[in-house]
Amino acid sequence: MTNAARTPCMLIPYNREYSTFEFQRSPPDRVQMSEWTQTDRRIGIWSATSAATIGVIYVVVGLIGIAARPPSRLALSQVDPYLAILEVLIILSAVTLVTMMAAVQTYAGPECETIGVTAFAFIICFAVLTCGVHFASLTVGRQIDPRALSLLSHQLSFEWPTLALALDLLAWNFFLGLALVFAAQVFKGEAALRVRVSMTLAGTLCLTGTLGPASGHLRIQYLAIAGYAFALPISCVLLAMLFWRERCSGVNAGRIS
């Protein structure tokens, strides 16, 4: 009877320690944060489709602006009202790309969590830079007197070399390129192959374009233009299609499970 009475007392501390250890290893909140929901899918589809649509509209407006502008020695220079429309489209594009990358980061799951967070951090840097530059151009740049503040007016223009264009190229070439290259690594498997390849291509072209302003040879910038004006909209369409298929089938075809 003495041993039987002592046995429960010896087991209680052991059970308490074991329960605490198991609770620390498996926090329930972490499992909930990594879930990919129907709402996430819908936001991903909407944002990717919107980004592709805005990209197409941007190219069309840009071509019309080039055709309608006065003669210029700069091949891609724009004038109002087309320049103002393009700047508004750029701000809207940045918003949709941030939303799309948030969906990609959630889609990544715990296996690719660091990659997804890194891509999202770079797209935030991209959005803050380009939105800030173009908002300043749309507001301050069009309200100051160029004769009174000629230096500031020039630096807010998009002629090289100016501060506004340098910051905008940093956003669209470097930070967007990094975001796309990292985001591409989230997608695994045959079902997501086209998304991974197109997103990697768009990001690589953007990053290569960084050599243009860095070296002063802006012809290299055409590679970045091919990346964000043509490869990126295609990548967004493929991403929306991937999210749509998963929404219908209920399986994560391009995600590590």
What is the percentage of the chain residues whose pLDDT exceeds 70?
82
User: How confident is the model over 127-147, as pLDDT tens digits?
Assistant: 999 999 999 999 999 888 887
How many structural domains comprise the chain? 1
Is the residue at 3 inside a domain?
no
Is the residue at 257 inside a domain?
no
CB 253 within 8 A of CB 34: no
The CA-CA-CA angle for residues 19, 21, 26, to 5°, reads 95
Q: Which of 201, 194, 186 is nearest to 238 (CA)?
A: 194
Is the residue at 93 inside a domain?
yes
Q: Tokens for 95?
A: 């918003």
Q: Which of 182, 166, 179, 184 is nearest to 221 (CA)?
A: 166
User: How confident is the model over 65-94, as pLDDT tens digits?
Assistant: 999 888 876 777 888 999 999 999 999 999
Does the pLDDT at position 148 exceed 90?
no
- Cite the DSSP H helix spans in 139-231: 140-143, 150-155, 163-169, 176-184, 193-209, 211-215, 221-226
Is the residue at 26 inside a domain?
no
Distance between CA 240 and CA 194 in Å, rounded? 12
Does the pLDDT at position 171 exceed 80?
yes
What's the whole-number mean pLDDT along residues 156-165?
A: 90
Under the banding of pLDDT at 50, 70 and 90, the label for residue 252 is: low
Is the residue at 4 inside a domain?
no
Does the pLDDT at position 167 exceed 80?
yes
User: How confident is the model over 23-36, as pLDDT tens digits?
Assistant: 444 443 333 334 78
Q: What is the pLDDT of residue 255?
A: 59
Sequence-ordered list of residues with C-beta below 8 angstroms from that of 35, at least 6 positions apart, any chain: none
Is the residue at 109 inside a domain?
yes
Q: What is the pLDDT of residue 73?
A: 63
Distance between CA 113 and CA 7 in Å, rounded? 46
Q: Which residue pairs, CB below 8 angstroms and at least 24 apart, start in 45-48?
A: 45/240, 45/243, 45/244, 45/247, 46/99, 47/96, 47/97, 47/99, 47/100, 47/102, 47/103, 48/100, 48/103, 48/236, 48/237, 48/239, 48/240, 48/243
Is the residue at 208 inside a domain?
yes
Domain enclosing residue 217, as ranges:
36-249
Does the pLDDT at position 189 exceed 80?
yes
Q: What is the pLDDT of residue 12?
A: 42
Whether a cis peptide bond, with omega within 30° of 0, leads into 81 is yes
Is the residue at 99 inside a domain?
yes
Under the banding of pLDDT at 50, 70 and 90, the label for residue 202 is: very high
